[in-house]
Amino acid sequence: MAPQLQGYFDQVDLMSDSFIARLAAAVAIPSVSADPELRHHVFKMADFLEKLLLALGATVERRPLGIEPARPTLELPPVILSRYGNDPNKRTILVYGHYDVQPALKEDGWATDPFVLSVDEKTGKMFGRGSTDDKGPVLGWLNAIEAHQKAGIEFPVNLLMCFEGMEEYGSEGLDDLIKKEAKNYFKDAEAVCISDNYWLGAEKPCLTYGLRGVSYYELTVHGPAQDLHSGVYGGSVTEPMTDLVKLLGTLVDNKGNILIPGLSELVAPLSEDEKLLYQGISFEMQDLYDGLGSETSIHPDKERTLMARWRYPSLSIHGIEGAFSAPGAKTVIPAKVIGKFSIRTVPNMEPKDVDELVYQHLNFEWEKTRTNNTMKVGLGHAGKWWVSSPKHWNFAAASKAVESVFKVKPDMTREGGSIPVTLTFEQATGKNVLLLPMGSSTDAAHSINEKLDKRNYIEGIKLLGAYLHYVAVEPQIEQ
């Protein structure tokens, strides 16, 4: 290991309390992009990052994205573009993260206030919305810069940063910005690194070279002009909820089989070589159970579980807008209900082919209900799957960084979640993209009690810095 890396690691350890305080300050800003009432906090979070970057000596450009198309009274938060270092003799690396978070309410079942970073000193777990997704990783890059400065160690690369505030609401406006800036702000980038995903388990780091895509649908069933009393109208009106539940029930079974004809034919066949790949991955069924908080898995073994997560599509039913869902026993007949479901897509599924099969299937099933209600189905948002080659110097550098910090070789993984801009970065810049996660599979991102372990945060800051040292010198050959 290069001697300056040990100095950097020691400095990160020395500064760990201040890095945790910085994460606490970020978590305290409820930058929920989905909630119009909290939109000003997303802007506040952009200010927070801009101020920190300027204090570190980076240059910052705030890129406004205009008005949110679906909610024209709302302004989109800016993309923060930043550059640290401009040395023509150094490599330039582009990193991406997001500063918005998923919604969180204490009454959803959080054990602590979601917007107060609550550190359990015994376990090292740091609870708070955005701790792992994605404020910890975003601050990781800034902390790496600061630790270099405080240790008097030369920063090994020129760092370009792209931080957005709408990722949790479909990255509105970002694709166009990336395409535009590929030949402008990002023109010097030689490789891209994204830290917005998770280790496969809780112990061993991984590098990620694939993501599933996502196509998100809204299925609306409408009948009466207003909600009705079920005692007065039950039995004499065609109930929209009955039709909707019937339709939703035709999409998927409880073994995860998607019931839409033609969909599985779009999936790339499994080769013998690929089958072998899953056996070598460090993953135990217990890792899955830990993440689930139960043992209610579909598959009994790790190979099928990993394949189901990474290389096969899945269909999830998320909720029903307009349905009664509060505690108690309201005897209402909802007049209009909107079922929300999404399909995680994989090679070689083309989003437009998936849409067509979904619409065809739902129209066919709708005819069978012989109902006199009306039905409408539409696509909310979609992002395509991404699979790249990990045989690239960008991955080789990250692998060395993992070994230097964690003393193990990382697993090479794909992931079931979606980060649609990954493909956009790859296509627009023409450069290799690497996913370098900081958090673990037990972090409960998007869920109640989201957390980041102290170990993952502090060693993760070391990892990001070490990656920059190795990527600065890794020979530029495809391996």
Ligand X SMILES: C[C@H](N)C(=O)N[C@@H](Cc1c[nH]cn1)C(=O)O
**Distance (Å, whole) CA 33 – CA 46:** 12
Contacts of 450 (CB under 8 A, 6+ apart): 102, 104, 114, 127, 128, 129, 130, 131, 132, 133, 443, 444
**Distance (Å, whole) CA 77 – CA 164:** 8
Residue 346 as a binder of ligand X (CB under 6 A): the answer is no
Residue 419 as a binder of ligand X (CB under 6 A): the answer is yes
Considering the complex, what minimum distance in angstroms separates the CB of residue 148 from ligand X? Answer: 27
418 binds, among ligand X, Zn ion, none (CB under 5 to 8 A by kind): ligand X
Which of 418, 379, 469 has the alpha carbon at shortest distance from 151? 469
Residue 68 as a binder of ligand X (CB under 6 A): the answer is no
Considering the complex, what minimum distance in angstroms separates the CB of residue 395 from Zn ion? Answer: 21
Q: Which is nearer to Zn ion, 169 or 467 (by Cβ)?
A: 169
**Distance (Å, whole) CA 108 – CA 130:** 16
In the list 50, 181, 196, 239, the residue contacting Zn ion (rule: CB under 5 A) is: 196
**Distance (Å, whole) CA 191 – CA 421:** 15
**Distance (Å, whole) CA 81 – CA 449:** 31
Interface segment toward ligand X; rule CB under 6 A; list 50-58, 108-116, 321-329, 415-423: 415-423
- Site size with ligand X, rule: CB under 6 A: 10
Which of 456, 465, 462, 459 has the alpha carbon at shortest distance from 131? 456
Q: Which is nearer to Zn ion, 158 or 441 (by Cβ)?
A: 441
Contacts of 201 (CB under 8 A, 6+ apart): 282, 283, 284, 287, 440, 441
Q: Is the peptide bond before 134 cis (omega within 30 degrees of 0)?
A: yes
Considering the complex, what minimum distance in angstroms separates the CB of residue 291 from Zn ion? Answer: 15
Considering the complex, what minimum distance in angstroms separates the CB of residue 31 from ligand X? Answer: 15
- 459 close to 137: Cβ distance less than 8 angstroms: no
Residue 134 as a binder of Zn ion (CB under 5 A): the answer is yes
Considering the complex, what minimum distance in angstroms separates the CB of residue 421 from ligand X? Answer: 10
- 109 close to 101: Cβ distance less than 8 angstroms: no
Q: Which is nearer to ligand X, 178 or 375 (by Cβ)?
A: 178
Residue 239 as a binder of ligand X (CB under 6 A): the answer is no
Residue 197 as a binder of ligand X (CB under 6 A): the answer is yes
In the list 133, 190, 239, 459, the residue contacting ligand X (rule: CB under 6 A) is: 133
**Distance (Å, whole) CA 92 – CA 27:** 29
- Told to judge if 167 belongs to the known catalytic residues of this protein, a careful annotator would answer yes
Residue corresponding to tokens 């979904």: 358
- Which position among 167, 365, 415, 459 bears the catalytic label? 167
Considering the complex, what minimum distance in angstroms separates the CB of residue 97 from ligand X? Answer: 10
In the list 256, 347, 351, 417, the residue contacting ligand X (rule: CB under 6 A) is: 417
Interface segment toward ligand X; rule CB under 6 A; list 70-78, 141-149, 232-240, 411-419: 411-419
| Catalytic positions | 100, 167
Q: Which residues bind ligand X (CB under 6 A)?
A: 133, 168, 170, 196-197, 214, 216, 417-419
